[in-house]
Amino acid sequence: MSYQSKLEAAHQELKEKGVWKFTYDPPILRICRGLGVKVIPFHYQGFVKNAIVYFFIMLFIVTCFGIAAGFHVSWGASFFTRMMLVEGAVGGILMASFYYIRKKQLSLTDWGDLP
């Protein structure tokens, strides 16, 4: 079974379950696939993998916002670093929980069992 056929089957299953296209095929995944990275939709990844991926996504967002707003200067570098790590961890766990719960609610097929 090829990656492309599994991806199409996953997208079809999510579409049939009423999941929005932006949710099951977000821009970050389309960019990764455009660069040649074979990444599976977040609904089919495990909790830990989603938590790690979203930790780094949230860390990047918080860092960009914090530096642009000047928080690293006004709050101090050590506090800003701790804040970034905590917000990244909380955001990662929340998003991983969302995808884990949605996978259970929608009764989705496991990635390995897709045609």
pLDDT digits (tens, 9 = 90+) for 36-93: 999 999 999 999 999 999 999 998 988 888 777 776 677 777 887 888 889 999 999 9
Q: Distances from the Cα of 28 to the Cαs of 23, 51, 53, 73, in angstroms? A: 11, 15, 11, 30
Q: What is the pLDDT of residue 115?
A: 82
Residue 3's Cβ-count burial label (10 Å; 0-12, 13-18, 19+) is exposed
Q: Is the pLDDT of residue 6 over 80?
A: yes
The pTM score is 0.84
pLDDT digits (tens, 9 = 90+) for 12-41: 999 999 999 998 899 989 999 999 999 999
CB atoms inside a 10 Å sphere around CB 70: 9
| φ and ψ of 17, to 5 deg | -80, -5
